[in-house]
Amino acid sequence: MNHTNGCLSGTGARLAGSLFALAVVAGVPGCTDRDAPRNGPTGERTAVRDSAGVRIVENVDPGAAPKWTLAAEPTLTIGDDLGADGFGRVAGVVRLDNGVIVVADALALTVRRFDPTGAELTAAGRQGSGPGEFETIDRMWSIDGARVGVWDGRLSRYTIIDGEGEPGPSVSLQPTAAKGRYAPIGFLSDGRLLAKSDARDLLSLEYYRPDLTLLTFDSEGAVADTIATVPGVEMWDWVWELGTTPLEIPFGRATSFRLAGGAIYVAANEGYQLDRYDTAGALTLRIRADRVPREVTNTDIASYRAAARERDESSEFSKGPVGFWAGAAEAAPYPEHFPYYDRFEIDDQSRAWVRDYPDGSGQTTYLVFERDGRLLASAEFPARFTVSEIRGSEVLGVWRDELDLEHIRLYPLVERPDERPDERSGETER
């Protein structure tokens, strides 16, 4: 097999303290009175130590943790009766504090609002570059629980949709010398936008992991500060007949971010580790779990190459010469192991939900950590369902039916009936 060493050197997140003197607005709302299942870890599976003021929590034997799942039926479904007005490609789902559900449709280029019963309230947006228009909808995020921000990557600008569904003026982010692609993360308390930039100006015949730059932008879209660098996406440069093309390596590692509860969370996939920084710039919590990444097999590589051939044949991916993606898949370096995880969420009680890297079955598995870093549970969600957010004991997300049409569903979170461990704390101090 054409494998590379799956472990790259790196220093992890290198966060500048100046950023975190600012409080964070975007993120987790206050706790609700609806709690998730209350069963704690069993045995001595959590060890806690302090290192220079940083709480380091080591969680072992995650497989023995209590298991949660979704109820058999959703309490709310949006999209079943929309017919031709159904969703084309959902780019984001947000539930506001008043219960209104906002859905960004990247195909229709609209932002639609639904009341807590699923009845449509408003729709905004269309294709274009004028006020309230989009060329793309790449991401949507909550702002103070009452509004949403919508990112148009093609126009490199964001638009804020207010609590009545009305779009405000768009703000274009001004380019930097690095000419990187931006992706917003959220707003700070002073109104500045925190975003990441993935300028890829390195060339190498080996694979590499260029840094992401974290920037803040003022209300006019000008760069206010360069505040941090973190490891980015693993890359390689394919040298082929028409030149050199930088590409992400198959099954490569990437870094995820969340702004929540007055803190920034960084998961760089350098080991099973999640870091939390406070608003003064200090690392306050490091969560670790005894998790072993899956090995990349010949079967995995063959499946990836088959998907690349299908991508070449699909009209949806008509970019590049015929055989571009298949050729790249044949030449690409492959890591020896999959990443530990591919994304995470922070719920309204500041618990971290870290999703295992997909295993191809469609079912997804999360490890759930308390705010203090202790492993609380694992959660298994069915195939065709993708989590958008978690509040209390409810999970909101996107479900795909047998025709691959998308629906919004809200499920209660329940304890698996065959998983009833005892209530011992399981934490030791050392």
Say if residue 190's pLDDT is above 80.
Answer: no
pLDDT digits (tens, 9 = 90+) for 102-114: 999 999 999 999 9
Q: pLDDT per residue over 42-85, tens digit each?
A: 446 889 999 998 999 999 988 889 999 999 999 999 998 887 78
Question: Does pLDDT of 420 surpass 60?
Answer: no
In a domain, 120, yes or no: yes
What pLDDT band is residue 198 in, cutting at 50, 70 and 90? confident
Q: What is the pLDDT of residue 419?
A: 53
Residue range 210-244, pLDDT digits in tens: 888 888 899 999 998 887 788 899 999 988 888 88
Give a yes or no: residue 260 inside a domain: yes
AA letter at 153 = G
Residue 393: HSE in the Cβ half-sphere, 13 Å Cα cutoff: 13
Q: Rounded to two decimals, what is the model's pTM?
A: 0.83
Phi-psi region of 269 (alpha: psi -120 to 50; beta: other; left: phi over 0): left
What the block records as the tokens of 196 is 């990441």
* Domain that residue 393 falls in: 3-296+336-429
What is the gyration radius of the CA atoms in the chain, in angstroms? 22
In a domain, 316, yes or no: no
CATH number of the domain that residue 223 is part of: 2.120.10.30
In a domain? residue 302:
no
Q: What percentage of residues in the chain have a pLDDT greater than 90?
A: 58
Orientation angle between helical segments 298-313 and 324-331, nearest 10 degrees: 160
Distance in angstroms (rounded) separating the CA atoms of residues 274 and 40: 20
Q: Over the stretch 286-310, which tens digit does the pLDDT of each residue have?
A: 999 999 999 999 999 999 999 999 8
Report if residue 305 sits inside a domain: no
What's the token pair of residue 59? 């969680």
Please check whether residue 374 lies inside any domain of the structure.
yes
The CA-based dihedral angle spanning residues 98, 37, 278, 210, taken in that order and rounded to the nearest 10 degrees? -100
Q: What percent of the chain has pLDDT over 70?
A: 81
- Three-state DSSP class for residue 224: strand
Give the contacts of 313 (CB within 8 A, at least 6 positions apart): none
Query: Taking all residues of the chain, what is their mean pLDDT, rounded to a whole number?
Result: 83
Token pair listed for 130: 């004028």
Asked if residue 267 belongs to a domain, the reply is yes
Rounded to whole angstroms, the maximal C-alpha distance in the chain is: 63
In a domain, 206, yes or no: yes
- Residue 88 DSSP class: S
Give the integer Cα–Cα distance in Å for 27 and 262.
8
Structural domain total, the chain = 1
Residues in contact with 82: Cβ distance below 8 Å, sequence separation at least 6, in sequence order? none
18 burial (CB, 10 Å; 0-12 / 13-18 / 19+) is middle
